[in-house]
Amino acid sequence: MTASAWSRRTALPRARTRRAVGLVFLLALLLSAAPAAAHGYIVRSIPDNRAVLERAPARLQYWFSESLEAAFSSVTVRDQAGHVIATGGVSGDNAALLSVRLPNDLPDGAYVAELRIAFASDGHVVTDTRLFFVGAAVGNLEGSGATTQADPLEVLWRGLTLAATLLLLGTFSLYALVLLPAWGNPKYAAGLLPPRVMRRLSLIIAGALAAALLGNITAIIQQAMVLFNAGPGQVIEQNLWSIARAGTRFGDLWNARVLLLALVAGLYGLSLYFRDEQPGLVRPTWTASAWAMALVIGTFSAGSHAAGSPLLPWVGVFVDWIHALAVGLWAGGLGVLALVLPVALQPYAGDDRRAALLAVLPRFSRLAVVCVVIVVTTGVYSSLNWINRPADLTQTAFGGALALKLVLVAGLLLVALAHHIALRPEQYTRWQGIVRRVQGFVPTLRLEALLALLVIGAVGLLSASPVPVPPLPDDVPPPPGGMQAVDDTAVAVMLTPGGPGVNTYDVRVTRGGQPLEGANVRVQWVNPARDWRSRWTVAEDAGGGLYIAAGAEIDRAGEWWMLVDVSASDTRRAAFAWDIRTEAAIRQSRDPSGLNLLALLGVAAALAWAAYPFARRVYRRLDLNAANVTIVLGVIGATVLFSIIGVVVIQNTQAQYQATLNPPPAVVNPTLPDAASLARGQAAFAACEWSGADWQALVERLPRTRDETLFAAARDGWRSLPPCAGLDDAQRWDVVNYVRSREG
Ligand code: HEM
């Protein structure tokens, strides 16, 4: 029995449980890292860029495809003379909304909004300028648009840390999956490989750890430089890097990464320190380090573009992680092979050298083939996250970086193919020329490793470049607004963005042509189709006759009424009716296209194919007698069935609860309760002769009484209150609106 067969039989069961535990731990930890999400972009702005407005809006609002770092994002508005007229930041109600309130009555002219946006997921900082004109557009004023170039220092640290991280994963996984099974020999106690090989591997680990540390230090300094718009000296002297580290999402991921790297360095140190007394410690510590390195790569994916994708971010992060893991096993392994083989083969020549080579290379090649299939399928999926049309590839910084990467990948795959052929000469008899050319393997392995390094350099550029902005819907309805004059009072309202979800409402009130300040302005939302109304919200007096509020009352499309009561010496009612459309809602996500789903299927097929040998081994060990199979299938069936029943029951209960809470009304109020309806209602109310205790009781329960009930009361009477005589339905609805206005 050979030494390696011996080491495999004894070590295997222990290794498998360790792997299973490691995998569960890994998945749990990665799932705990919330997506974040990466370079984002503006999905909606009110006003639109370069909009020409009759009058200045109450505020500027910019919705982004993902959350922003509030401490590092701002908007500064300047007039055409360059004076700062307002500054704003991230809204308290919506972390993806940057807004600034404007002073009242801005004169006609051009205004520039300078946006500084720090995206929460990866800390990328983008500056952008947007213009709007009050009155008329002004000459050749141009906004500078969003920054599109990658920061060279970021490209550098991303390339360096990625290369070092992938090399570390490559070292530990190649050691466990290829070198040990191929060359493992119990006579070498410390690590089961010849000391010269272990020394070279240790050197690679030490070098890669140092490079990873250097890269991560550069990362946090570069991040603080862009967040604080400061130079490296200032960042270090004023300790700005530790604010970026402690106070941002980028910092969270950085901390996790450095912690894990410290763990790996600790394990490595442990294996070195005890290699003479406890030689058996080398293998488990290195195998554990491989798992820790997979987590380090997870921190990159959790902060990668994929995390901010509008398309299934969780799936995007997972696919990016699998992509980078497969790259680590393949390209990382390749780098280690290119560095270790010269040392490992040194004592050998001729057939011995070839035998030692062929003990390792076919094993690595099998692993590499699986990794290449996974890398390509996951790479295609990740690309389709952002490349939605040819122009995204040809006309954006991201597309350019991806194209550069793909050219290098093509070269890499060609060399890999040549190695694949050379290792199976009997299968490729027609390609003997290639077999002869690469038969030494070491020089061409170096070339392949170099190409892989260049690809990772291109990845540094790719992940530092802003993503292409996907095609945004162009059928977005303008934000609903309106103006109503009630006697001497004019009420102008604007609802933004004006779709289902969180909205801001600006109410501008003038009396006798002058801004009405210090009034009590209340807003209520009514969904007549469901006879549902919100509580009254008191709008905040922003001065200059502007009153503002925000809320998520509008939870679906359809007809909605906005009631505005302005109380100063007396109360004036304005009412607006809008058809709220889903298109107006801010969409931060998009549905997968057929191509996305196909690419996902490709990833699933590649993973199933890769897992097949393991599944088959597990399957063979299973005792598939009829009883076991029936029990297993029964349990699976029951779990699925009960989950489906559970979901259906919950949904039904919720629907029933909603239907009990708010049953569809038998009759729907067709009359907007504006000032005219209240006046008509007040006149018609004379016909009701409602007074006394029951009238009092009705008024008290108005907040929880539906219009259909009031309508029935006007038509049929209510308790001792008689029906309102001689009214038609339209008058009854006016009475309903008038009675409701008596609420409170
Ligand atoms: C057909 C082949 C490939 C395609 C289409 C592809 C595409 C991509 C895309 C779109 C990303 C996400 C980048 C981002 O959004 O920041 C990515 C990430 C990455 N790719 Fe590839 N790739 C391919 C092959 C490779 C190869 C051969 C390597 C290495 C040798 C590689 C290394 C990486 C790494 C390390 C990342 C992770 C970056 C991160 O999470 O920050 N890829 N790839």
* pLDDT tens per residue, range 249-277: 899 999 999 999 999 999 999 888 888 88
Smallest CA separation from ligand 1 atom 10, residue: 383
Stretch 668-693: mean pLDDT: 94
Stretch 568-577: mean pLDDT: 92
What DSSP letter does each residue of 607-655 carry, written as one string? Answer: HHHHHHHHHHHHHHHS---HHHHHHHHHHHHHHHHHHHHHHHHHHHHHH
Which among 171, 253, 256 is positioned nearest to 209, based on CA atoms? 171
Measured between its terminal Cα atoms, the distance across the chain in Å is 92
Contact, 494 vs 479, CB < 8 A? yes
Q: Which residues pair with 566 in a beta bridge?
A: 521, 572
Alpha-carbon distance 366 to 181, whole Å? Answer: 13
Query: How far is the centre of ligand 1, averaged over its atoms, from the C-alpha of 289 (Å)?
Result: 23
Alpha-carbon distance 702 to 707, whole Å? Answer: 9
Alpha-carbon distance 457 to 461, whole Å? Answer: 7
Stretch 63-71: mean pLDDT: 88
Smallest CA separation from ligand 1 atom 43, residue: 379
Quickly count: other Cβ atoms within 10 Å of residue 23's Cβ. 12
Same domain, 609 and 630: no
Stretch 54-79: mean pLDDT: 89
Smallest CA separation from ligand 1 atom 1, residue: 376
What is the three-class DSSP state of 172?
helix
pTM of the model: 0.81
**Residue 379 CA from chain centroid, whole number:** 18
Residue 643: is it exposed, middle or buried by C-beta count within 10 angstroms (0-12/13-18/19+)? exposed
Same domain, 462 and 485: no
Give the best-scoring range by mean pLDDT among 296-310, 321-335, 503-517: 321-335
Task: Return the HEC string of 509-548.
Answer: EEECCEECCCCEEEEEEEEHHHCEECCCEECEEEECCEEE
Q: Are strands 125-134 and 51-53 parallel, antiparallel or unpaired?
A: parallel
Assess if residue 336 is contained within a domain: yes
**Looking at the predicted structure, is the pLDDT value of residue 13 above 50?**
no
**Residue 174 CA from chain centroid, whole number:** 33
Query: How far is the centre of ligand 1, averaged over its atoms, from the C-alpha of 521 (Å)?
Result: 55
Q: Which residues pair with 94 in a beta bridge?
A: none
User: The tokens of 243 are what?
Assistant: 């604010």
What type of residue sits at position 487? D
Stretch 616-632: mean pLDDT: 79
pLDDT at 340: 95
Same domain, 6 and 23: yes
Distances 706 to 29, 516, 715 between C-alpha atoms, Å: 50, 33, 14
Smallest CA separation from ligand 1 atom 13, residue: 463
User: CATH no. for residue 498?
Assistant: 2.60.40.1930
Which tops the pLDDT comparison, 670 or 310? 670
Token pair 């009829």 in the structure block, residue: 626
**Looking at the predicted structure, is the pLDDT value of residue 575 above 50?**
yes
Alpha-carbon distance 47 to 317, whole Å? Answer: 33
**Looking at the predicted structure, is the pLDDT value of residue 6 above 60?**
no
Alpha-carbon distance 649 to 536, whole Å? Answer: 34
pLDDT at 126: 85
Contact, 553 vs 525, CB < 8 A? yes
Q: Which residues pair with 489 in a beta bridge?
A: 486, 511
For residue 312, what pLDDT band results from cuts at 50, 70 and 90?
confident
Assess if residue 160 is contained within a domain: no
User: The tokens of 195 are what?
Assistant: 């000391």
Assess if residue 179 is contained within a domain: no
For residue 528, what pLDDT band results from cuts at 50, 70 and 90?
very high
Same domain, 539 and 606: no
Q: Which range (149-153, 355-359, 596-600, 680-684) has the least confidence?
A: 149-153
Mutate to test the pocket of ligand 1, among 168, 372, 382 (most ligand atoms within 8 A of CB): 382
Query: How far is the centre of ligand 1, averaged over its atoms, from the C-alpha of 439 (Å)?
Result: 30
**Looking at the predicted structure, is the pLDDT value of residue 714 above 90?**
yes
Stretch 286-298: mean pLDDT: 93
Same domain, 513 and 547: yes
Examine the fold and report which residue of 108, 134, 160 is the final residue of a domain before the chain moves on: 134
For residue 455, what pLDDT band results from cuts at 50, 70 and 90?
very high
Which residues, including other chains, have CB under 8 Å from residue 211's CB and lie 6 or more apart? 160, 161, 163, 164, 167
**Residue 389 CA from chain centroid, whole number:** 21
For residue 334, what pLDDT band results from cuts at 50, 70 and 90?
very high
Quickly count: other Cβ atoms within 10 Å of residue 608's Cβ. 10
Assess if residue 260 is contained within a domain: no
pLDDT at 144: 59
Assess if residue 273 is contained within a domain: no
What DSSP letter does each residue of 711-723 carry, written as one string? Answer: HHHHHH-BTTBPP
Contact, 545 vs 509, CB < 8 A? yes
Mutate to test the pocket of ligand 1, among 124, 257, 320 (most ligand atoms within 8 A of CB): 320
pLDDT at 38: 47
Query: How far is the centre of ligand 1, averaged over its atoms, from the C-alpha of 419 (Å)?
Result: 22
For residue 542, what pLDDT band results from cuts at 50, 70 and 90?
confident
Which tops the pLDDT comparison, 121 or 99? 99
What DSSP letter does each residue of 355-410 carry, written as one string? Answer: HHHHHHHHHHHHHHHHHHHHHHHHHHHHHHHH--SHHHHHSSHHHHHHHHHHHHHH
**Looking at the predicted structure, is the pLDDT value of residue 318 above 60?**
yes
pLDDT at 627: 84
pLDDT at 148: 64
pLDDT at 35: 41
Which residues, including other chains, have CB under 8 Å from residue 489's CB and lie 6 or more apart? 509, 510, 511, 516, 566, 572
Stretch 707-713: mean pLDDT: 95
Contact, 492 vs 483, CB < 8 A? yes
Distances 166 to 33, 373, 463, 554 between C-alpha atoms, Å: 20, 18, 15, 49
Q: Which range (28-42, 201-215, 220-234) has the least confidence?
A: 28-42
Stretch 568-585: mean pLDDT: 91
Alpha-carbon distance 144 to 114, whole Å? Answer: 9
pLDDT tens digits for range 335-361: 999 999 999 999 998 888 889 988 999
Phi, psi of 158 (to 5 degrees): -65, -45
Smallest CA separation from ligand 1 atom 5, residue: 379
User: CATH no. for residue 65?
Assistant: 2.60.40.1220
DSSP assignment letter at 34: -
Assess if residue 166 is contained within a domain: no
**Looking at the predicted structure, is the pLDDT value of residue 142 above 90?**
no
Examine the fold and report which residue of 110, 134, 158 is the final residue of a domain before the chain moves on: 134
pLDDT at 473: 74
Atom of ligand 1 nearest to the CA of 162: 35
Quickly count: other Cβ atoms within 10 Å of residue 599's Cβ. 22
- As a whole number, the mean pLDDT across the chain is 88
Q: Which residues pair with 304 in a beta bridge?
A: none
**Looking at the predicted structure, is the pLDDT value of residue 34 above 70?**
no
pLDDT at 1: 41
**Looking at the predicted structure, is the pLDDT value of residue 10 above 80?**
no
Give kind and range of the element (H or E) at residue 243. helix 240-247
Contact, 668 vs 529, CB < 8 A? yes
Query: How far is the centre of ligand 1, averaged over its atoms, from the C-alpha of 287 (Å)?
Result: 25
Mutate to test the pocket of ligand 1, among 39, 327, 369, 398 (most ligand atoms within 8 A of CB): 327
pLDDT at 428: 81
Tally of domains in the chain: 5
Smallest CA separation from ligand 1 atom 7, residue: 379
Same domain, 332 and 431: yes
Same domain, 411 and 545: no
Which residues, including other chains, have CB under 8 Å from residue 538's CB and lie 6 or more apart? 520, 521, 522, 549
Same domain, 687 and 643: no
Alpha-carbon distance 374 to 319, whole Å? Answer: 10
pLDDT at 656: 79
Q: Which range (38-47, 409-418, 604-613, 676-685) has the least confidence?
A: 38-47
Atom of ligand 1 nearest to the CA of 327: 29
Examine the fold and report which residue of 101, 134, 167 is the final residue of a domain before the chain moves on: 134
**Looking at the predicted structure, is the pLDDT value of residue 715 above 80?**
yes
Assess if residue 188 is contained within a domain: no
pLDDT at 650: 85
Same domain, 463 and 344: yes
pLDDT at 474: 73
Assess if residue 308 is contained within a domain: no
Same domain, 341 and 415: yes
User: The tokens of 659 are what?
Assistant: 């239907």
Task: Return the HEC string of 209-236.
Answer: HHHHHHHHHHHHHHHHHHHHCCCHHHHH
**Residue 170 CA from chain centroid, whole number:** 28
**Looking at the predicted structure, is the pLDDT value of residue 80 above 80?**
yes
Q: Which range (197-206, 385-394, 624-633, 732-741) has the least confidence?
A: 624-633
Stretch 114-126: mean pLDDT: 86
Same domain, 401 and 332: yes
Alpha-carbon distance 109 to 111, whole Å? Answer: 7
Smallest CA separation from ligand 1 atom 6, residue: 379
Q: Residue 716's domain spans which residues? A: 675-741
Query: How far is the centre of ligand 1, averaged over its atoms, from the C-alpha of 402 (Å)?
Result: 8
Q: Which residues line ligand 1 (CB under 6 A)?
A: 162, 300-301, 304-306, 320, 323-324, 327, 331, 375-376, 379-380, 382-383, 402, 409, 412, 452, 455-456, 459, 462-463
Same domain, 339 and 458: yes
Contact, 43 vs 65, CB < 8 A? yes
For residue 492, what pLDDT band results from cuts at 50, 70 and 90?
very high
Query: How far is the centre of ligand 1, averaged over its atoms, from the C-alpha of 409 (Å)?
Result: 10
Token pair 């993503």 in the structure block, residue: 467
